[in-house]
Amino acid sequence: MLTRPIPRSGEVLPVIGIGTWENFDFAPKAPERVALAQVLEALFAGGGTLIDSSPMYGKAEALVGSLLADRSSPKPFVATKVWTTGKREGVVQMEQSFKLLGVRQLDLIQVHNLVDWKTHLDTLKGWKAEGRVRYLGITHYTDSAHDELETVMRAADWDFVQLNYSLEDRAAEARLLPLAVEKGMAVIVNRPFGGGGLIRRLRKTPLPDWAGGAGCTSWAALLLKFILANPAINCVIPGTGEPKHMQEILEAGVGSLPDEATLKHMRALA
């Protein structure tokens, strides 16, 4: 799988990860565990490592922790979030995430949707200095929050920013992606299929001949390769609970990326 360096450290990160919103919101012993274990197995076998979760995602952290406890390798890159107000409340929530995920060190903690970010940043800086957390980040998922996200990106030396970006929603190209490069921030992309309308429409039609030049055999892979063609992006985290869809997703992380002629064709689809 293709990898890109995290600007702050030079550590390489595979370009395909997985988000756990909705699809992993099940109890650790739920019947869905079998398919979700296969999804993670496919991710790891394909060279991916990043798993992104949040206390906001219901039971997802507990299920992820349970699935990871059954494995010894490869080492995942475990990212979660803090999603509450107040210093004490934030500490309690993050300590619970450590427990649920079954780790002593978290690779990345992000302030979810910028909630009380100044308070949590103070805590996270201390934990990073102690080695409990390796990287710090911020997130949002809507265009309407981009102005605020830009302000917070400029306000502190974050290691990561997670934001929405897709072929049908390219607002982040204007300011946020260039700012991330300027500030030396790694970028994780959420909502890579936008609202989902574009991929639902495209799946009703055959792939165009030019898609083969990008090494794609599915619309999902093609849309993800559009995102990865932007060098500011470090990792994209689509969500799925189906192993067969994970295989389509992984296709985007290997081989060549679209050239400018192919990107022009892709932009016309939206």
Q: What is the DSSP string of 131-154?
A: TSEEEEEEE---GGGHHHHHHHHH
Q: How many domains does the chain have?
A: 1
**Confidence category of residue 171, pLDDT binned at 50, 70, 90:** very high
261: Cα separation from own chain's centroid = 27
Burial of 103 (0-12, 13-18, 19+ CB in 10 A): middle
Average pLDDT over residues 229-258: 95
CB 258 within 8 A of CB 266: yes
- Distance, CA of 244 to CA of 225 (rounded, Å): 18
Distance (Å, whole) CA 43 – CA 40 = 5
Give DSSP secondary structure letters for 234-267. -EE--B-S-HHHHHHHHHTTSSPPP-HHHHHHHH
Query: pLDDT exceeding 90 applies to what percent of the chain?
Result: 91
DSSP conformational letter for 192: T
Q: Does the pLDDT value for residue 165 go beyond 90?
A: yes
Instruction: Quote helix, strand, coil % in the chain, to nearest 5.
Output: 45, 15, 35
Q: Which residues contact 217 (CB under 8 A, 6 or more apart)?
A: 207, 211, 251
Average pLDDT of the residues in 156-170: 97
What global pTM score does this model have? Answer: 0.97
Per-residue pLDDT averaged across 183-193, rounded?
97
- Would you say residue 118 has pLDDT above 80? yes
CATH number of the domain encompassing residue 26: 3.20.20.100
pLDDT band at 103 (very low <50, low <70, confident <90, very high): very high
Domain enclosing residue 235, as ranges: 3-269
Tell me, what amino acid is at 190?
N
pLDDT of residue 52: 98
